[in-house]
Structure 1
Amino acid sequence: MTIAFARLRDIPPELIAAHMSDPVMARHMPLLTGAWDVATATQFIAAKEATWHRDGLGHWAFLSDGDYVGWGGFQKEGEEWDFGLVLRPQNFGLGQRIARAALDFARADPRIPFVTFLLPPSRRHLGALRRLGAQPLGTVDHAGSAFLKFRLETA
């Protein structure tokens, strides 16, 4: 199985709309409200591409053997690089592998001395973050919702 990172602009918006409309996704994504259509996915892709232009880095599409399995990556939040990982439910098992590859990228990039992770309080299984070495920083508000914040040194 080959994992690759691509730009979101290279993924048909229909695939992203279907992914983000899956009811399983909303369980742990408090900022996800309602079903997505192609227009919503297209706007999302444009917003994520804007971060590439602004910061020189952003979110990728994750591919397994060439098939879209989810999206995520690094987005600058103030002075911090936040890492997100949003996989299709049938691909949840790839999370550790994809996260490790992305964090290897961060460790090799001098712009990223550490990464942060925001997880909703509904996430109870945090062992993967602990195994990576991420340290809890407490609860923070992001866009009106509470999230558990973690930090991982990459330098």
Structure 2
Amino acid sequence: MAIAPECDVTFTRLTQVSPDEIIAHMSDPRVAEHMPLLTLHWDHDAVARFVDAKEACWHRDGLGHWAILYRGIYVGWGGFQREGEEWDYGLVLRPQNFGLGWRITRKALAFAQADARIADVTFLLPPSRKHLGAFARLGARFVGETEYDGQRFLKYWLATG
């Protein structure tokens, strides 16, 4: 019996990851290429504010972004965050782990399908993302362009139920 590759992926809280790991991740210019909202310099204070903001989502909504581990190693962060009435799914991987995106997303979407709070999810993608066919294969529907914090994004919607 083959083991599903998603088994190698675990989700934990960002508080369980060394701030130095997050600094190195978020300071990589290859990450910034696809994050138009990434404008600050990442240091220990920035990481503390970031983690506090993500923890506030957990306290407010009972769900938020996770630190993502692959075979026990930090590879990025992401998950579900409440944006108004919608649950938005985001994923920010270290460049050397970009290839794990769909494996992690499949596991996250399985979580969403099992969670009664999440009837559907949205994805806000920067216009720099060019390979979007996998979203259609997932069943996600292009909603249109939207603006968030002064930046333009491509918005997709997916029913999880």
Relative to the length of structure 2, the TM-score reads 0.94
Preserved contact between residue 21 and residue 34 of structure 1 (Cα < 8 Å): no
2:50 is matched with which residue?
Answer: 44
2:115 is matched with which residue?
Answer: 109
Q: Determine the C-alpha separation between the residues in 2 that align with 1:124 and 1:106.
A: 25
1:77 is matched with which residue?
Answer: 83
Task: Return the match for 1:125 from 126, 131, 135.
Answer: 131
Q: Does 1:138 align with 2:140?
A: no
Task: Return the match for 1:60 from 61, 66, 85.
Answer: 66
Preserved contact between residue 55 and residue 76 of structure 1 (Cα < 8 Å): yes
Task: Return the match for 1:92 from 90, 95, 98.
Answer: 98
Query: Shift of the alpha carbon at 1:130?
Result: 1.3
Q: Determine the C-alpha separation between the residues in 1 that align with 2:47 and 2:80.
A: 19
2:41 is aligned with what amino acid?
A
Identity, in percent, stands at: 63
Query: Shift of the alpha carbon at 1:35?
Result: 3.0
Aligned residues: 155
What is the SS of the residue equivalent to 1:4? strand
Query: Shift of the alpha carbon at 1:39?
Result: 1.1
Per-residue CA shift, 1:16-60, capped at 9, x if unaligned? 111000000111100001431111011101100000000000000
Instruction: Please provide the CA RMSD for this pair.
Output: 0.9
What is the SS of the residue equivalent to 1:44? helix
Preserved contact between residue 121 and residue 147 of structure 1 (Cα < 8 Å): yes
Per-residue CA shift, 1:109-137, capped at 9, x if unaligned? 11000000000111111012111111000
Q: Determine the C-alpha separation between the residues in 1 that align with 2:140 and 2:57.
A: 24
What is the SS of the residue equivalent to 1:103? helix
Q: Determine the C-alpha separation between the residues in 2 that align with 1:34 and 1:76.
A: 23
What is the SS of the residue equivalent to 2:100? helix
Structure 2 runs not aligned, ≥5 long: none
Query: Which segment drifts farther, 30-39 or 53-62?
Result: 30-39
1:7 is matched with which residue?
Answer: 13
Q: Does 1:149 align with 2:155?
A: yes
Q: Does 1:25 align with 2:27?
A: no
Query: Which segment drifts farther, 16-25 or 122-131?
Result: 122-131
